[in-house]
Structure 1
Amino acid sequence: MLSIGDTLLLETVSDDGKKQVFRSKVLDIKDKSFLIGPPIKEASNRTEPIILEHTLFSAQFVAKNQKVFQFNTKVLKKNLEKITTFEMELPKEEGFVPIQRRSFIRINTQLKVKVFSLNNEFSPFDTYTTNISAGGLKLVLPDEILLEKAQTLICSFVLPLQDDSVYVRQLCKVVRITDHISKRYASLKFEQINETDRQSIIRYCFERQLALRKKGF
């Protein structure tokens, strides 16, 4: 499930509601624990070596099968050697929980999209997204394109993942048309999305979120 080299998002678990988010990488895996390097604090983008033993975290990561999992862990021990590492508690297999639809990450991003009509109601057109999640996306509509709520269409786009690019062609339904200043937008919901495409989109959103946080956004 968890593999060496996986990037973790670590959110502190506390009763006072003051949560902190870190990121780190898995350096080694043992029978009941795993090692990570000094976590980087998202708020400052700096290494945070001062984390106490028994600190509780809720962790998220993208597995090799491209699914996003969440699990609970805690700091067991801090190792002070040439490279400072933290030994973390490794849960049993049932402790890894796949992220459900209600937890889908929605991120702002501009992806080029080709839109096709199912019933020749319009000619194919090119546009781009303003945001995307595994549940749907939001498009900028060209001036000459008129879509209606509940209209069904096909969107094709490429997800630029870290180690590859994934082509997605997905049936969508218009759920909302909005106007803002001089532009019109269409919010679309994915219809009958397959698990492979859904997990690819989740992975893209996860990687994009990490990249933005690394840049300080």
Structure 2
Amino acid sequence: MSYYLTEVQKLLPKVNQILHMNINSIDDEESRIEYKSRIADVTEDELVIEIPLNEKTGKLKKLYQGDELSTFFLGDGGVKYYFTTSVVGYREDVIRLVELRKPTLESITQIQRRNFLRVLAELEIAVKLSDQIQFIGVTDDVSGGGISFICDGQVPIGMNAAISCWILAPFKNGNIEHIPFSGEIVRVKQLESGKQLAMVKFVDIADRERQKLIRFCFERQMDFRKR
């Protein structure tokens, strides 16, 4: 078992490794620019990196909270390991550092894939776990491929649970859309506040509803950029 855990840990990015990244952006030209950064620290929930550098121009790239990044790092033998993460905060040290959401082992792959833009957003979400268990929560982040939400710590949600939901999403044109979907809970984390954070992947969502969420994410990203 210890050998297995050691091998598994090799798949996780480590301090001093270089992360190569692209910003998932509505701007196609920007999304093609590759940056690199050194990992300065790794905590239970975060990767802490230096300000990314554009190798072609030599300029540093300012990242905004909520930015989603498609990244890879080199493992043993030069194997590329890909994952998607997002900016969750900043840390002031000798230099300013950027805090990224730490990937789960399940989300790290050797296959590069275009991921949905994920943004931080507090939206009302109604969740149906069963005919007897229905409740209201608040999203932590949303994307076209899944969401995470915070709810009361006493709600009996667990890994692989099937849920049906709807989200209320406001748009710049003043419309508030009711977006329904079915999902599966892939991870649950207990928070210090006594609440719990549930991460959900979409199992069944109409394409028109997914497009609404994608549009919301891009509008949200533009708001972050203007701050």
- TM-score w.r.t. the length of structure 1 is 0.53
Residue 178 (str. 1) matches residue 173 (str. 2) = no
| Deviation by residue 1:22-43 (Cα, 9 ceiling, x = unmatched) | xxxxxxxxxxxxxxxxxxxx95
Asked if the contact 1:13/1:19 (under 8 Å) is kept, the reply is no
Q: Please, what is the CA RMSD of the aligned residues?
A: 3.0
Structure 1 or 2: more helix by fraction:
2
> Size of the alignment, in residue pairs?
132
Paired residue for 1:166, among 177, 180, 195? Answer: 177
In the alignment, the residues of structure 2 paired with residue 174 and residue 158 of structure 1 have an alpha-carbon distance, to the nearest angstrom, of 19
Q: Return the letter of the residue paired with 2:223.
A: A
Q: Unmatched 5+ residue regions in structure 1? A: 1-6, 22-41, 45-100
In the alignment, the residues of structure 2 paired with residue 133 and residue 108 of structure 1 have an alpha-carbon distance, to the nearest angstrom, of 9
| Deviation by residue 1:111-133 (Cα, 9 ceiling, x = unmatched) | 0111113x4251x2111011111
**Which stretches of structure 1, 4 residues or longer, exceed 4 Å deviation after superposition?**
7-10, 12-15, 17-21
- The 1:116–1:8 alpha-carbon spacing in structure 2 relative to 1, beyond 3 Å, is same
- The 1:204–1:18 alpha-carbon spacing in structure 2 relative to 1, beyond 3 Å, is farther
Asked if the contact 2:180/2:205 (under 8 Å) is kept, the reply is no
- The 1:114–1:10 alpha-carbon spacing in structure 2 relative to 1, beyond 3 Å, is same
- The 1:186–1:13 alpha-carbon spacing in structure 2 relative to 1, beyond 3 Å, is closer
- The 1:178–1:10 alpha-carbon spacing in structure 2 relative to 1, beyond 3 Å, is same
Q: Unmatched 5+ residue regions in structure 2? A: 1-25, 35-53, 64-112
Q: Return the letter of the residue paired with 1:116.
A: K
- TM-score w.r.t. the length of structure 2 is 0.51
| Deviation by residue 1:84-136 (Cα, 9 ceiling, x = unmatched) | xxxxxxxxxxxxxxxxx73311111100111113x4251x2111011111111
Who wins on radius of gyration, i.e. which is larger? 1
In the alignment, the residues of structure 1 paired with residue 59 and residue 204 of structure 2 have an alpha-carbon distance, to the nearest angstrom, of 36
